[in-house]
Copies of this chain bind each other. A is one copy, B any other.
Amino acid sequence: MGKAGTKGVSRTDRERQIVDVAVEEFGRHGYASVSVAAVARRAGISKPLVYSYFDSKDGLFLACVHRVGALLADAVAGAGSRRGSTGHALDTLSAIFTAVEHCRHAWSVLYDPALPPSGEVRDAVSLYRGRLAAMGAAGAAGLLTRAGHDDPLDHELLNGVWQYAVTAVMRWWSEHPEQSAAAMTARCARLLTALGTG
């Protein structure tokens, strides 16, 4: 639109705003389908400004990964810790819901299945996924050992299923924006008790 020249927005503020937009775009459409120009447009600025602050598309995505990775890891680490796998799962989900209530596509950024198959981006994503998996599904281990199963591959698979289940819940939530975090927690509580009595 307007000519060149500063608009009085500090670099820090602008970076935060760009990452806000980028998280939503990446979370909604996936890494491969989002163009830097689209992010710039939706942020109301021009493409070279994005490159000036983040160097490359990967750099922008990395910033998003660190943003949402820290947010989610902190939330899960600080979650309540009831005993019993159902209670533990609910505590974890509740912590995630409240953490991303104003940034609902955060989870999908970390669990975008169409990432570049190698490189720095993949490494950073794997790092945060690993942390979330270790914490969130530590309860799953107890669940399996209590049932007498100790195959490590079983644990690995249950871990993957747990993370994809959370992904499903998050995507459903993005499509039902009227639902509050508390309502989501209650809903998941109903589902989990129903599963336990199946």
**Nearest Cβ distance between residue A69 and chain B, in whole angstroms?**
19
Interface membership of chain A positions 77-96, coded 1 if the CB is closer than 8 angstroms to chain B and 0 otherwise: 00000001110000000000
A187 touches B157 (CB 8 A): yes
Counting contact residues on chain A (CB < 8 A from B), the size range is 35 or more
Q: Which residues of B contact A32 (CB under 8 A)?
A: 30, 32-33, 114
Q: Does A171 contact B (CB under 8 A)?
A: yes
Known contacts: A113-B113, A114-B29, A149-B190. The answer to whether A156 contacts B172 by CB under 8 A is yes
Stoichiometry, as copies per complex, reads: 2
Chain B residues with CB below 8 A from A167, complex form: 164
Q: State whether A157 touches B169 (Cβ < 8 A).
A: yes
**CB nearest to A194 among chain B residues:** B147
Residues 108 to 161 of chain A near chain B (Cβ within 8 Å): 112-114, 117, 143-144, 146-147, 149, 151, 153-154, 156-158, 160-161
Give the interface of A toward B (CB within 8 A). Answer: 29-30, 32-33, 84-86, 112-114, 117, 143-144, 146-147, 149, 151, 153-154, 156-158, 160-161, 163-165, 167-169, 171-172, 176, 187, 190-191, 193-198
